[in-house]
Amino acid sequence: MATIASILPAPSPGFALDRVICALDGSPRDADATREALAVAGAANGLSFVAVDDTPQTGGAISSLGEHRARRALEQAQALAAAHGTPATTELAGPGDVAATLIDRAGRTGLLVAGGRRGSPVAAAVTGSVERALLHRAEGPLLLAHSRDGERDARLRILVAVDDGPAAAGVVALAGAVAAASDGYVNLVHVAGREYGSAMRHRLAELSIELIARTGREPVVDVLQGAHVATGITDFARRSGSSLLVVGRRGLTGLHGLGSVSGRVVNAAPCSVLVVPADFDA
């Protein structure tokens, strides 16, 4: 029986990110960040590992590094990349502001990867978390790497959460590129509210066709009724065994940003989260 995917053209090569920038801080989170950077590196033109010599005043997910410890973290990551067959460069930057340095390296079209940690977003803001700073200030897409709950699938199981907002196009384009590069599975999910009707169904169909064009496969599409958006997404990610969750970010800051869907998803997700800004143009 013919499927939608079988009658469409072969997958489009689409776009490539300028570069994947993987931040290292010498902590156990480096392993998660390196793993995710290698998983998505095929969707970019190159991979760089960056360790930043932080100033003593700044704490958070990426803390102060001594030169010896930083170089060791860079060497370990580069060795893992070589074993993976992925060329990578390394940089020891600073001293300086960690978040600002990393955001500068990634720019608007690079993908920034950092080790994340779960916890209260309010507490993270109070302690000056670099992770929180990256989430609010990154100009391009940001992947916060978390250790996955349960067993790991050899292939990425990518859950793409969309609404009717402007970020949906960039979210789907980037998720499709990552899926195509990693041979990953894609599940498109929408948490329905009062706005769900023919217009949203049509939008989901358009986004599905875009994913097919980029990956050559039909995504599984799920509509969740009656759930709080962030809770619905993270609960579904847990039930479906997702290894990467892709969401949009509307660019809110301050207390509004702390309570945003993307902020809550990052805090509660059972897996790594790729956050795509609303103005990301793929």
Domain-by-domain residue ranges, the chain?
5-11+151-277, 20-140
Q: Which fold has domain 5-11+151-277?
A: Rossmann fold (3.40.50)
Residue with tokens 């990610």: 237
The closest alpha carbon to 174, from 21, 36, 12, 43, belongs to 43
The reply to whether 5-11+151-277 and 20-140 are identical in fold is: yes
Confidence at residue 129, expressed as pLDDT on a 0 to 100 scale = 75
Confidence at residue 199, expressed as pLDDT on a 0 to 100 scale = 86
- pLDDT, one tens digit per residue, over 55-80 is 554 444 444 567 888 899 999 999 99
Confidence at residue 256, expressed as pLDDT on a 0 to 100 scale = 36
Strands (E), 127-279: 142-145, 157-161, 185-192, 220-225, 244-249, 272-277
Residue with tokens 């143009």: 281
Confidence at residue 242, expressed as pLDDT on a 0 to 100 scale = 94
Kindly tell me the number of DSSP H helices and DSSP E strands found in the chain. Answer: 10, 10
How many Cα atoms sit within 13 Å of 161 on the Cβ side?
28
Instruction: Summarize the confidence of residues 198-224 as an average pLDDT.
Output: 92
pLDDT band at 149 (very low <50, low <70, confident <90, very high): low
Confidence at residue 136, expressed as pLDDT on a 0 to 100 scale = 84
- pLDDT, one tens digit per residue, over 34-61 is 999 999 999 999 999 999 877 554 444 4
Instruction: Summarize the confidence of residues 186-190 as an average pLDDT.
Output: 94
pLDDT at 17 over 90: no
Give start and end residues of each alpha helix (H) in 149-244: 168-182, 198-215, 229-240
pLDDT band at 126 (very low <50, low <70, confident <90, very high): very low
Cα–Cα distances in angstroms (integers) from residue 228 to residues 61, 161, 225, 247, 265, in the given order: 28, 13, 9, 15, 11
Tokens (6 digits) for 192: 């329905």
Give dist(CA 83, CA 124) in Å, integer: 35
For the domain 20-140, what is the CATH code?
Answer: 3.40.50.620
pLDDT at 2 over 60: no
Report the predicted TM-score, pTM, of the whole model to 2 decimal places. Answer: 0.85
- pLDDT, one tens digit per residue, over 83-121 is 999 999 999 997 878 899 999 999 999 999 999 865 544
Confidence at residue 36, expressed as pLDDT on a 0 to 100 scale = 94
Confidence at residue 252, expressed as pLDDT on a 0 to 100 scale = 40
pLDDT at 152 over 50: yes
- pLDDT, one tens digit per residue, over 212-230 is 999 999 999 999 987 788 9
pLDDT band at 279 (very low <50, low <70, confident <90, very high): confident
